[in-house]
A and B are shown apart, each in its own frame.
Chain A
Amino acid sequence: MKLVDEFRDPELIRGLAARIVRRATRHWTVMEVCGGQTHSIVENGLDEVIAERITLLHGPGCPVCVTPLETLDRARRIALETGAIVCSFGDMLRVPGSRGDLLGARAYGGDVRVVYAPLDAVRLAARTPERPVVFLAVGFETTAPAVAVAARFALQQQLENFHLLVSHVRVPPALEAIASAPDAHVDAFLAAGHVCTIMGTAEYEPIAARFGIPIVATGFEPVDILEGIAMAVEQLETGAAKVEIQYARAVRPAGNPIARAMLAEVFEIADRPWRGIGVVPRGGLVLRPPYDVMDAARAFPWLEDETSTEPQQCRAGEVLRGALRPPSCPEYGRRCTPDHPLGAPMVSSEGACAAYFHYRATSLAP
């Protein structure tokens, strides 16, 4: 695959790993805040090849993991009680809510369907005017534009049966929260490359400056991730604390202004609870007028009464903030496994707990 395979070249991987280990004069801790990067790191064992000098931490970069319990429970109730078609990305279907997951709702009569694109949910609404269609809109700023496009189309087509259950989250406030949390020891961040293709890198400048911490907008293939780490290490070794772009082929400093304008048209920033972490001020997006007409809470007013108590901070929160390595959680590998997850980070293939589970057979001797 062009523009993908070249960034998986084993020789380049080896060369970059060696470069990082040679350049680092002491041990550094680098955190990535992107589930896609977590997955790539685990899949390729990248943290192993640089373990001598670098500790890679996984932050709350899994939007699936941080979707509030309440949102899931509301989606499930809509599916079970209203005859609406609930459309969702596949990622969300097995995340445990208070009483079960969305996939399980099908066994009880809920019409839950997987879509690849939010626009497909809108097209479905156009084809089935007699039934409400509710799209569960989760994801970071990478995914929000796809939802914005869908919302604009729905409004333009005057589709009154299309609704959005919005739970978008924003990365920079989370990064700030981690940088300022007392128990996180992060020397540098890898910023999620695909979020940056939309948002650019300007938002990270004040964070880098305030905390004196290098931030490198990094891609997803093994070569990208290692190059991003190499750039971070170079900054750390020279005492710099800048925002840099590793993923230059897709990230421009200004991002995608048209996509950002769409986001501003459809959404506004709001405080949002992140599952397992708590309320992150300005950590989410909500629909703004005139798009708020398609908020699921308008179609189903009882939604506001459906509240779920997040059990006292689940340990998932500590994992998501990089304060707890999953193997240290008492339930890890015991009551909590990918087959039988207790919390969201064990469900999503990108959650840190699920990612670590792939190493669980202790170290694989060569």
Chain B
Amino acid sequence: MCLAVPGQVCALHDEDGVRLAMVEFGGVRKRICVETLPDVALGAWVLVHAGIALQQIDADAAADSLRLLADATARSEEPR
């Protein structure tokens, strides 16, 4: 399953005892529940699905992965 979109935490607050974050997705902002990531910090990238944050995204891991793929494509080599 299924549709989850990466966004960046731009504000944090509590409401009725529930931890919420304002998450920015490229020109769109939505209030998302981050009870599942209580230590999430401002500026973190999170994966959002059905109104909650599933997990924090490791942007460095993403960048590394893309770089490796680009190198492999450029070299047209066999994989590891």
A contacts B directly in the complex (CB < 8 Å)? yes
User: Could you list which residues of chain A lie within 8 angstroms of chain B, going by C-beta atoms?
Assistant: 1-4, 6-7, 11-12, 14-16, 18-19, 22-23, 34-36, 39, 61, 63, 89, 116-120, 139-143, 145-146, 149, 152-153, 156-157, 192, 194-195, 197-198, 220, 223, 227, 230-231, 234, 248-252, 255-256, 258-259, 262, 350
B11 touches A (CB below 8 Å): no
Option from B1, B35, B58, B62 in Cβ contact (under 8 Å) with A195 = B1
Q: In the complex, are the beta carbons of B1 and A142 less than 8 A apart?
A: yes
Option from A16, A194, A250, A259 in Cβ contact (under 8 Å) with B1 = A194
B43 touches A (CB below 8 Å): no
Task: Please list 6 pairs of residues, one from A and one from B, whose beta carbons are closer than 8 Å in the complex, sorted by A's number.
Answer: A1-B5, A36-B2, A116-B51, A249-B57, A255-B55, A262-B35
B69 touches A (CB below 8 Å): yes
| Bound Cα distance from A35 to B4, whole angstroms | 12
| Bound Cα distance from A251 to B35, whole angstroms | 18
Number of A-B contacts defined by CB within 8 Å: 144
Option from A7, A35, A145, A223 in Cβ contact (under 8 Å) with B54 = A145
When distances are taken between beta carbons in the complex, the residues of chain A under 8 Å from B52 are: 117, 119, 145-146, 149
Option from A6, A35, A146, A198 in Cβ contact (under 8 Å) with B2 = A35
Which residues between 1 and 40 of chain B lie within 8 Å of chain A, taking CB atoms?
1-6, 16-18, 25-26, 33, 35-38
Q: In the complex, are the beta carbons of B62 and A149 less than 8 A apart?
A: no
Q: In the complex, are the beta carbons of B54 and A249 less than 8 A apart?
A: no
Q: In the complex, are the beta carbons of A227 and B69 less than 8 A apart?
A: yes
Q: In the complex, are the beta carbons of B65 and A15 less than 8 A apart?
A: no
Chain B proximity of A175: nearest CB distance (Å): 14
Say whether chain A's binding surface is mostly helix, strand, loop, or mixed. Answer: helix
Chain A proximity of B17: nearest CB distance (Å): 6
Residue with the highest number of chain A CB atoms closer than 10 Å, among B2, B52, B79: B2
| Bound Cα distance from A350 to B2, whole angstroms | 10
Q: In the complex, are the beta carbons of B49 and A146 less than 8 A apart?
A: yes
Chain A proximity of B58: nearest CB distance (Å): 5
Residue with the highest number of chain B CB atoms closer than 10 Å, among A89, A197, A223: A197
When distances are taken between beta carbons in the complex, the residues of chain B under 8 Å from A227 are: 65, 69
Q: In the complex, are the beta carbons of A256 and B54 less than 8 A apart?
A: yes
| Bound Cα distance from A16 to B78, whole angstroms | 10
B42 touches A (CB below 8 Å): no
When distances are taken between beta carbons in the complex, the residues of chain A under 8 Å from B38 are: 258
When distances are taken between beta carbons in the complex, the residues of chain B under 8 Å from A140 are: 1
Q: In the complex, are the beta carbons of A143 and B1 less than 8 A apart?
A: yes
What count of chain B residues pass the 8 Å CB interface test? 39
| Bound Cα distance from A272 to B58, whole angstroms | 35
Q: In the complex, are the beta carbons of A3 and B37 less than 8 A apart?
A: no
Residue of chain A at shortest CB distance from B38: A258
When distances are taken between beta carbons in the complex, the residues of chain B under 8 Å from A141 are: 1
| Bound Cα distance from A360 to B62, whole angstroms | 36
When distances are taken between beta carbons in the complex, the residues of chain B under 8 Å from A139 are: 1, 50
Chain A proximity of B10: nearest CB distance (Å): 14
When distances are taken between beta carbons in the complex, the residues of chain A under 8 Å from B73 are: 11-12, 14-16, 19
Known: A194-B2, A258-B36, A259-B36. Is A16-B61 also a contact (CB below 8 A)?
no
When distances are taken between beta carbons in the complex, the residues of chain B under 8 Å from A119 are: 18, 33, 51-52
Residue with the highest number of chain A CB atoms closer than 10 Å, among B50, B52, B61, B70: B50
Option from B4, B16, B51, B57 in Cβ contact (under 8 Å) with A142 = B4
Q: In the complex, are the beta carbons of B17 and A146 less than 8 A apart?
A: no
| Bound Cα distance from A141 to B2, whole angstroms | 10
Q: In the complex, are the beta carbons of A256 and B1 less than 8 A apart?
A: no
Residue with the highest number of chain A CB atoms closer than 10 Å, among B5, B45, B52: B52
Residue of chain B at shortest CB distance from A255: B55
Q: In the complex, are the beta carbons of A248 and B49 less than 8 A apart?
A: no
When distances are taken between beta carbons in the complex, the residues of chain A under 8 Å from B59 are: 3, 249
Residue of chain B at shortest CB distance from A22: B78
Q: In the complex, are the beta carbons of B1 and A61 less than 8 A apart?
A: yes
Residue of chain B at shortest CB distance from A261: B36
When distances are taken between beta carbons in the complex, the residues of chain B under 8 Å from A12 are: 66, 69-70, 73
